[in-house]
Structure formats: structure tokens, C-alpha cells
Amino acid sequence: MRTAPTILHLDMDAFFAQAEQASKPSLRGKAVVVGGLGPRGVVATASYEARVFGVHSAMPMAQARRLAPNAAYLVPRFGFYRAISEQVMQLLRELSPLVEPLSLDEAFVDLEAGGAAWDEASARLAGAELRAGIRAVTGLTGSVGLAASKMLAKIASERAKPDGLVLIEPGTERDLLGPLSVRTLPGVGPATGDHLRRAGIHTVDELAEAGEDELVRLLGKAHGHALHAMALAHDERPVVAEREAKSVSVEDTYDIDIHDRLRVGLEVQRLADRCVRRLRGSGLSGRTIVLKVRRYDFSTLTRSETLRGPTDDPAVVREAAARLLDSVDTTGGVRLLGVGVSGLADYTQEDLFAQAAGAGAESPAEERVDEPAQVQAAGPAERHWSAGHDVRHAEHGHGWVQGSGVGRVTVRFETPGSEPGRVRTFRVDDPALQPADPLPLVRRRPADPAGTPAAVGGETGGRG
């Protein structure tokens, strides 16, 4: 393990919720919960204001509503989050060629590989400048952990939340880790944690004292050996530069099981078009089409078909997905559908294998807003207004959907740079109201090198 704290872990603070608060002036400083809003929805992210009430990610949305009934509940806007994430990842790539994204809002960086840091002082400066750069470019905050290993850098960033920086000095790792729960270590999930608890092992110190032989007996050779090493603060895992995507896929979970076979087919076609748009947006094509169906009894079926060459033709993908659906029994209802493309390439061979009738035909017009991960099971002709998504009115301008129902949609008209806006209600089929693209966030003044944002108060750096 290296002797300088040159591994950096960045974790954006309550990323989805923070992005929504920055985009919507009326929600700043208020409880915001982002996730699926249907009966089966779960929380993707909760703002720190919502966490005060006990709301957290992966919680059933119904439970979150009971805990925080007055919070704003919004459907995710993944395209908006991806755009912000790419700005953040670009800042990381400017620090080092070794950037390992873990998700849209989290990544490891090897500062030593890029020459950005070589000792404690230079690492702390690089972390502070990164936080300032993120605030300057996006207006959002992120927490930074610095340590001599990936495991410790991630622990440090968790301790830095929200909006802080924590550096673990080499030589202090064992003292820091000892009293922590075994669940702190990578690879210790609920099942392994329960197994260790039944063996009387609760803390990292107790894990180290148990010895490697006992851990191998309890957990198997690979897992036992790895956990014993981590309990001793030994983590040699390198930062691995981002790999190319192996597949592109989209899926939807439905509030009400779909029983109508025709409706299932239409949903698969819609998902195929969405998948192709994402494929083309990445400049890719693929040769294996995958269909995923989760039925009413939670059984999940996966079917695939490999074409003679890669494609990004929507008609080809739609027809392949339809053929795959023909082999699936949907009697009893469907609760989730997904379409994916794997075997990716950066070219196509459409002339060699155009298989669909009318190959090359244009796909349906692209939605101008991201479709939510959960959608209402309603007829294809109905207009859906998802809470939190962007709209534009011919008279009132840009706004976002606060809610809809009983043939009405409520919109708050405001922009990232405006004061909190007024609320108006319209018919769901009002022709003057149309979906809109998200507006870019208003940039704020950068933080000083010590990490204190110029636009707000001093360093918070505490747990949150």
C-alpha cells in the first residue's frame, strides 16, 4: 500500500436531490425526495432536509411519505443528472488519467498517476481545488476523502459529508478502523454481516483479532483472506480507469400489472426505441438484443437474439424485441419490461442484415424529457406529466410539474436563476403546455483553495 494519501474518493452530496434543489428555487432548503412515485416506488435520493425525518435511499416511497408528508416528491430526470455528472467527471479526468467512476455521483481518482499529488499537502490542495471546481462549474457540492487506499478514501469521504474534505494520515489507519462496524468494509453486506455477528464479530478490531484462518473457515478462502487484509488496513486494489460499457439497456416498472398483450407489445416497442436513442447517443451499435420480463409472481425471464452484425437501426431492434416477446408467456400480468443491446461496437453493418420491414424507417419522435423509471399503466394516447419534469407554456414560459391527477396538471413557473415562481393549474391536454428540456444550472462563484464556498458559509465537513 502506498505511503501518501493520494487516492481520492469523490461523493456528490445527495446528488439527485441537490440537483433538483439547484434547478428549482422554490425547493432550496426544503425536503426533497427523488424516486419512483408509484405504489412500488423506492427512494433514489433524499435531500439532507428529508433525512432529518428518517427518509433514506432504497426506502419504499410509501414509507417515506409517512415520515415526511410535506416533502417534495419528484420523478428522476436522469438525462439532467448525466449531463451534470459528465461535467464533474471531466474535472476528475483533468486531475488524472486514472478515474474509476462507480456511479453518476461517485468516483475514485489516483492523484499520483496524474502528478496532481505526491504527499499529504499536495493531496489536500488537489482535493480542495476539486471541490471548488465542482462548485464553480455546476453550483453543487461534493465530499472528498483522501487516503492511501480505496477503502480508506471511501471511509474518509463518508466522514466528510456533507460538503467537506477529510484526509486520513498514513499510519493512523488501524486506530481509525478498529472501532468501526464490520459493515464498513467493502464486501460485507447484510448476509456476511449477520454471519459475522452470529460468530461474535462486530467490529473491525474483532475481525482482525479473529485471525485469517478463522475468517477463511467462516467465509471461504477468497472472502476470508480479503477481509482479514482489509481489517489490518491493507487494501492494494488499484484505481482502474473507466471501462467501455458492455451493454445499453432501459426498463420500466409499472404501477399496475399489465395484462393486455397488445399493451405489452406496445411497451416493448417503446422501450426498444428508447434503447436505440441511448445507443446512438453513445455512438455505439450492438448485435445482441435482450428482452427482460418480470411477471406478476416476480419471476424474471430473459430472452436474447444475436444478429449477424451490429446495428443501431430502431426498426431492427423493435422487430427483434417483438420476436423475443413472442416466446414469453405474459398470462397473469407483467410488472416490469426491459430492452437491451449488448455485443457493442462503434460501427454498423446495416446493409448486411437489415431484417425489419421498412428497415431504416425513422423511429417515433424522441421525448424531450426523460421517461421515469416507473410509469403509469395507462393507454398510449394519454399525456403523462411526471412530478419534477420540465415543461414550457406558451404564455408563462419555463416551469416544472408539481403534480397531476383528475385531468389536471399543476405547474410551478421558475428557472434555476429566478426567484421562487408562481403555481398555475391546467388541463392535462392543454395545447399551450408542452414538455421541455431541462435548463442548465446557474453557476456560482468558486470556493477558495481552503474549500470554503464563496457563496455560502464556512466549511461544514461534518457527518450528514
What average pLDDT does the segment 7-33 reach?
A: 97
- Pairing label, strands 106-110, 7-12: antiparallel
Whether pLDDT at 446 is above 50: no
pTM above the 0.85 mark? no
Give the whole-angstrom CA distance, residue 24 versus residue 42: 22
Average pLDDT for the chain: 85
The predicted structure's pLDDT at residue 448: 45
Which of the residues 106, 267, 319, 414 is marked catalytic? 106
The predicted structure's pLDDT at residue 361: 34
Give the whole-angstrom CA distance, residue 341 versus residue 246: 9
Per-residue pLDDT tens digits for 269-299? 999 999 998 888 777 888 899 999 998 888 8
Per-residue pLDDT tens digits for 156-201? 999 999 999 999 999 999 999 999 999 988 878 777 888 899 999 9
Give the whole-angstrom CA distance, residue 34 versus residue 45: 5
Give the whole-angstrom CA distance, residue 26 versus residue 114: 41
Higher pLDDT, 357 or 180: 180
Whether pLDDT at 346 is above 80: no
| String of DSSP letters for 93-159 | HHH-S-EEEEETTEEEEETTTTTS-SSHHHHHHHHHHHHHHHHHHHS--EEEEEESSHHHHHHHHHH
- Find all residues with CB under 8 Å of 216, minimum gap 6, and list them: 224, 225
What average pLDDT does the segment 319-323 reach?
A: 94
Per-residue pLDDT tens digits for 193-230? 888 999 999 999 999 999 989 988 888 888 888 889 99
What average pLDDT does the segment 441-451 reach?
A: 52
Give the whole-angstrom CA distance, residue 277 versus residue 79: 12
Whether pLDDT at 12 is above 80: yes
Q: Which three cell numbers stand for residue 198?
A: 452470529
Per-residue pLDDT tens digits for 359-401? 333 333 233 233 333 334 444 445 789 999 999 999 999 999 9
Q: How confident is the model at residue 445 (pLDDT cuts 50, 70, 90)?
A: very low
Whether pLDDT at 411 is above 90: yes
The predicted structure's pLDDT at residue 189: 78
What average pLDDT does the segment 29-57 reach?
A: 91
The predicted structure's pLDDT at residue 104: 86
Determine whether 106 is an active site residue. yes
The predicted structure's pLDDT at residue 368: 28
- Pairing label, strands 247-258, 374-375: parallel
Q: Would you say the C-alpha torsion 226, 227, 230, 232 has a positive or negative sign?
A: negative
Complete domains list, the chain, with CATH? 187-231 (no CATH), 247-344 (3.30.1490.100)
What average pLDDT does the segment 338-366 reach?
A: 51
The predicted structure's pLDDT at residue 298: 80
Per-residue pLDDT tens digits for 122-146? 999 999 999 999 999 999 999 999 9
Among candidates 72, 101, 138, which has minimal Cα distance to 8?
Answer: 101
Whether pLDDT at 258 is above 70: yes
Percentage of the chain beyond pLDDT 70 is 86
